[in-house]
Amino acid sequence: MAKVFKTSMFGYDKKEVDEYVKEKDEAFEALVTDSKEKIKQAQAVAMNANKALDELKAEFDKLKAELDRIKTQK
């Protein structure tokens, strides 16, 4: 923030302000794009984790049923 935006009339140099705003807009757009990409990656990871968890639950239910069947045979 070392830029000085002073003029005698309004206190700001329009060209420097426009450049500053443009730089900040570009930085913001890059941040938004990066954030959207990270959100997509997080959603993909969450979907994979949920799928794996569902598979483990199904396998657990099968094992539990098999254990109950073995216990009732004794």
SS (H, E, C) 4-66: CCCCCCCCCCHHHHHHHHHHHHHHHHHHHHHHHHHHHHHHHHHHHHHHHHHHHHHHHHHHHHH
Could you give the percent of the chain with pLDDT greater than 70?
84
| pLDDT at 28 (0 to 100) | 97
Confidence of residue 17 (pLDDT cuts 50, 70, 90): confident
Mean of all residue pLDDT scores within the chain: 88
Confidence of residue 41 (pLDDT cuts 50, 70, 90): very high
| pLDDT at 36 (0 to 100) | 98
